[in-house]
A and B are shown apart, each in its own frame.
Chain A
């Protein structure tokens, strides 16, 4: 029996209590995705997390140094999802992605080795996602991605690691004008590289998601 589960990364920073967001996210995953959950975190964050039922934890020390708007942003460990996941098929999600439906659940029932959304819908109606028009490659949203453990997918993650090492070179080459490291860019560039700069569409799924600044209610 192939194992299937959800992998989440959560590291508190000086300014943001991500564990609080994790608690909300886990509740929704349990209700709507109904799969086993593994949380990648560090011990200092783990100590603050309220009991949430059966959850697997793996401890790592997050790679520091990345910043967003001048504040620490511990998001650069996503490239290790392949090694850290205990599942044959893994759904990786940002913890600030709240799944209010079971739409993602059906992605487990596909034969795709690797799925990542290529579109995002801005709930605020401001098209705030359309900021990457200078980029030479189709972008993807690593907010949610599904992968199976096999040789092909391992190579994708190896490529992500390689691009991360030479991030400034690749962002310059693909005209991605961003000072900070984003997983969206890493995976977009990796897919572009590994497919020989050809159409990456066979990897994509369709999965609208909400921008952090979206206004939910008044």
Chain B
């Protein structure tokens, strides 16, 4: 491999790594959602917590992204919104990720 080919490969690897990082950040950013006038993160932790609490209680309290307490009165609806947003963001990330895999190959 000559030096130009090496540089090309190196640049491609760097660009792909930065683009991957940005795409993941975009997905994380998209997971922040407003619900009942508070902000929540539709991440696995929140989804698991809501699902666990929902099994035993009709309403419960959570902390939003700024550590303010919020009463959740309709856990089923909240869980549905969380899952929807989580999967929407990850689906978009998956689409982008596939293009990186093709470039790497």
Contacts and interface: CB of A to CB of B under 8 A. Distances in A.
A202 B66 CA distance: 5
Interface of A: 101, 103, 106-107, 109-112, 121, 123-125, 201-208, 218
B53 interface: no
Given A103-B29, A124-B18, A125-B21, A206 B65 contact: yes
A181 B33 CA distance: 33
Contacts of A124: 18
Interface in B6-40: 15, 17-18, 21-22, 25-26, 29-30, 32-34, 37-39
A109 B36 CA distance: 8
B68 interface: yes
Contacts of A204: 66
Given A110-B38, A121-B25, A201-B67, A206 B18 contact: no
Contacts of B37: 109-111
Given A121-B22, A202-B66, A111 B32 contact: no
Contacts of A207: 29
Contacts of A125: 17-18, 21-22
Contact of A110 (B18, B29, B34, B67): B34
Interface string B41-55: 000000000000000
12 contacts: A107-B39, A109-B34, A111-B37, A111-B38, A121-B22, A121-B29, A123-B18, A201-B66, A201-B67, A205-B39, A205-B66, A208-B26
Given A201-B66, A201-B67, A110 B39 contact: yes
A208 B34 contact: no
Contacts of A202: 66-68
Given A112-B39, A121-B29, 8 more contacts: A101-B30, A110-B34, A110-B37, A110-B39, A112-B66, A123-B22, A201-B66, A202-B66
A57 B101 CA distance: 48
Contacts of B21: 125
Nearest to B17: A125
Contacts of A206: 29, 32, 39, 65
